[in-house]
Amino acid sequence: AAQLNPKYIFDNFVTGPGNQFAHAASRAVADRPSKTYNPLFLYGGVGMGKTHLMQAIGHTIKRNNPEHSICYVSSEKFTNDMINSVRYDKMTSFRERYRTVDVLLIDDIQFIARKERTQEEFFHTFNALHEQQKQLVIASDRPPKELAEIEDRLRSRFEWGLIADIQPPDLETKVAILQKKAESERTQLPTDVALFIASNIRSNVRELEGALIRLVAYSSLTGGELNLMTAQQVLKNIIDQQTRKVTIESIQKACAEQFGLRIAEIKAKNNSRAIVYPRQIAMYLAKHLTEASLPEIGRQFGGKHHTTVLHSVDKIDEARKSDKDLNRLLNKLTESLSG
């Protein structure tokens, strides 16, 4: 399994309203592995700190129990390991390796969607570890019930312990993250510059860091002062890119991904239930996030009549008011599309 990143410790993690709960849950698990929540299931968008938190759990457990074996692995690595083990007839050692750890941290579990053999193997790994009361921590870009194409028995196990989401940081948290980061790089970051970055870079923390790194590199390479004017100039390109236009294609792609469908299925004439709802959501987003007219949207969704598009838009609009999950999903899609 991969090494833990030494930077991903609790001390370097800034908390705010969006991640407080996930952070507290992670601390609880780190302090008392297998005694609190098992599994701990963390979910949230890209760059929200899931990997950071799960590795922080690993570091803490390791520090408190040096004899514990901790395995951090992405679900892709798990899949590749398994494929290789099958090919070279090494399944016994594969199982031995994953079923004897004290703590299994498995990242980006959404990537085992559609991989039946991997799911089967992971199911048994999960059971073996859980029965021996070994701690499991799972990270995902979405909650278990939205993991389309992952078999039910596995999905339901993901709900056995505690599920904690991470929402995007607010402005104050973003500023605090930047200041913490600058501090650890021994850089002076004026408050107005931190505020400028935080309010102009989308919520993704990784991009926030990227902007800071670029700014620091620029001023150290040119010997210039790290001030607001430099920041505006250096980050202009990044900021312009962010206001990119949302297209119907990007909406179709995001919705297909979200529901485990192919883009062609969303665009096709097929009216099976599994596809109609995702398609209605996609048409709804197309209406709200692009300039496209109803007939144009209809055309791009398999030649639908504009009244059909309108009906979908109204339906989702209405459903959104009472359906919290749908509302959250729409917010998430909107953010990732236009962020």
CB of 134 to ligand ADP, least distance (A): 22
Which of residues 205, 215, 297, 337 is near ligand ADP by CB under 6 A?
A: 205
Instruction: Spell out the residues 6+ positions from residue 206 whose beta carbon is closer than 8 angstroms to its own.
Output: 46, 47
Residue 206 contacts which entry, ligand ADP, Mg ion, none (Cβ below 5-8 A, type-dependent): ligand ADP
- Quote the CA–CA distance of 117 and 121 in Å, as a whole number: 6
Q: According to the binding rule CB under 5 A, does residue 26 interact with Mg ion?
A: no
Quote the tokens at residue 200. 């102009």
Between residues 211 and 289, which has the closer beta carbon with respect to ligand ADP?
A: 211
Q: According to the binding rule CB under 6 A, does residue 206 interact with ligand ADP?
A: yes
Residue type, 179: Q
CB of 335 to Mg ion, least distance (A): 17
Between residues 172 and 249, which has the closer beta carbon with respect to ligand ADP?
A: 172
Q: According to the binding rule CB under 6 A, does residue 13 interact with ligand ADP?
A: yes
Q: According to the binding rule CB under 6 A, does residue 209 interact with ligand ADP?
A: yes
Between residues 210 and 302, which has the closer beta carbon with respect to ligand ADP?
A: 210
Q: Flag whether 49 is marked binding.
A: yes
- Of the listed pieces 25-33, 44-52, 214-222, 314-322, which binds ligand ADP according to CB under 6 A? 44-52
Q: Flag whether 302 is marked binding.
A: no
Between residues 48 and 261, which has the closer beta carbon with respect to ligand ADP?
A: 48
CB neighbourhood size of 215 (10 A): 24
- Quote the CA–CA distance of 150 and 242 in Å, as a whole number: 33
Which runs of consecutive H residues, i.e. helices, occur in 269-305? Answer: 273-289, 294-300
Which of residues 19, 51, 125, 135 is near Mg ion by CB under 5 A?
A: 51
Q: According to the binding rule CB under 5 A, does residue 74 interact with Mg ion?
A: no
Residue 85 contacts which entry, Mg ion, ligand ADP, none (Cβ below 5-8 A, type-dependent): none
- Quote the CA–CA distance of 67 and 102 in Å, as a whole number: 9
Question: Would you say 164 and 48 are in contact if contact means Cβ atoms under 8 Å apart?
Answer: no
| Residues touching ligand ADP, count (CB under 6 A) | 17
CB of 136 to Mg ion, least distance (A): 17
Q: How far is CA 38 from CA 25, 96, 271, in A?
A: 11, 21, 40
**Of all helices (H) and strands (E), which one includes residue 165?**
strand 162-166
Quote the tokens at residue 336. 């990732």
CB neighbourhood size of 327 (10 A): 13
Q: Flag whether 62 is marked binding.
A: no
Q: How far is CA 240 from CA 138, 206, 244, in A?
A: 35, 17, 7
Between residues 49 and 58, which has the closer beta carbon with respect to ligand ADP?
A: 49
Tell me the sheet residues that pair with 139: 42
Between residues 216 and 316, which has the closer beta carbon with respect to ligand ADP?
A: 216
Residue 48 contacts which entry, ligand ADP, Mg ion, none (Cβ below 5-8 A, type-dependent): ligand ADP
Q: Flag whether 51 is marked binding.
A: yes
DSSP string, 243-262: TPPP-HHHHHHHHHHHHT--
Tell me the sheet residues that pair with 107: 74
CB of 107 to Mg ion, least distance (A): 6
Which of residues 105, 129, 164, 177 is near ligand ADP by CB under 6 A?
A: 177
Residue type, 2: A
Q: Give rounded-to-5 percent helix, strand, coil for the chain.
A: 60, 10, 30
Q: How far is CA 306 from CA 29, 292, 300, in A?
A: 52, 12, 11
Which of residues 26, 38, 51, 300 is near ligand ADP by CB under 6 A?
A: 51
Known binding positions for ATP: 47, 49-51
Q: Can you give the binding site for ligand ADP, defined by CB under 6 A?
A: 8, 12-14, 19, 44, 46-52, 177, 205-206, 209
Q: Which residues are annotated as a binding site?
A: 47, 49-51
- Binding positions for Mg ion, rule: CB under 5 A: 50-51
